[in-house]
Amino acid sequence: MATPLSADKLLRALRNEGLHVVEHRNWRTHNRNHKGPWGPVHGVMIHHTVTSGTQSSVDLCYNGYSGLPGPLCHGVIAKDGTVHLVGHGRANHAGLGDDEVLRAVINETALPADNEANTDGNRFFYGFECINLGDGKDPWPAAQLAAVEKAAAAICRAHGWNQRSVIGHKEWQPGKIDPRGFTMDSMRSRVKTRLGGKPEGPSKPPAPEPPAKYQPFPGAAFFRVGRRSAVVTAMGRRLVSEGCGKYEVGPGPDWSEADRKSYAAWQRKLGYSGSDADGIPGRTSWDRLRVPHV
């Protein structure tokens, strides 16, 4: 039982455990707290996404879907072991589960069978979605399993919990099968071993990227009425190729209302809405558009 870690403390705990962590959009304030409290927290719950592809899985877990709004977890663990943080606070990941299982997690004792769904798990657990189809055939790379171990251990270490504070969704809610492809007993054994040693410390910075293949972001102020540039043409062509073109003629080199509407369609395609989809390029959406050098 503990007060949830602040966003800064959660990020620091994960990185100190040797994880490569990516902060996705406004994850620090993205939550479902208006639906109920988050905390006290008692443990870490592991899931699989039933999806493939890193970016699409991260976007899904951030945004959610019809009938189940995001965030769908706190972190998404990719095949390469990268942890993508998508939420901080109450998240739609655990659902209703067994109160006797919760009691065992709190007491850090052996888990009973989960045969009831009478307790709100979204309030009491951190949740990590691991990218895997969950069909029993999709592999679990060593880097991904190591990241599951490190993420669970990082939170346990921060709260002073042991490995019995780590459970699978299938151990919480009747009828669930996730995570499928490894046993939670084996993962708890790994977490126990890791907690017996010292944290690895922050991971080494990634190697410098090769020279960019794409047009660097020129800044939001670049995109204004009166701007004439080959960059605008190249951007428009990419928007058309992504199915977002709103042009009657063109695209051309002069920044226009058609360019703005087309870029707004691209932003909405990425999951942005409201003022975040105003049609003025920002660095994140621009980098994902991959406009070629001109």
Question: Given phi > 0 = left and psi -120 to 50 = alpha, else beta, which region is 63?
Answer: alpha
Digit-coded pLDDT (tens) for 217-264: 999 999 999 999 999 999 999 999 999 999 998 899 999 999 999 999
Going by C-alpha positions, the residue among 262, 259, 261, 230 that lies closest to residue 245 is: 262
Question: Which residues of the chain, if any, have pLDDT below 70?
Answer: 1, 203-212
Write down the residue that tokens 């921060």 correspond to: 158
> What is the architecture, at CATH level 2, of domain 7-195?
3-Layer(aba) Sandwich (3.40)
What does the alpha-carbon distance between residue 84 and residue 161 come to, in Å, rounded to a whole number?
23
Quick one: DSSP state of residue 85?
A: E
Residues contacting residue 34 through CB under 8 Å, at least 6 positions apart: none
pLDDT of residue 207: 56
| Residue 40, preceding peptide bond in cis (omega within 30° of 0) | yes
Q: What is the pLDDT of residue 1?
A: 61
| pLDDT at 293 (0 to 100) | 85
| Percent helix, percent strand, percent coil in the chain, to nearest 5 | 35, 15, 50
Q: Looking at residue 106, what is its pLDDT?
A: 97
> pLDDT tens digits for 42-78?
999 999 999 999 999 999 999 999 889 999 999 999 9
Pairing of strands 68-69, 125-130: unpaired
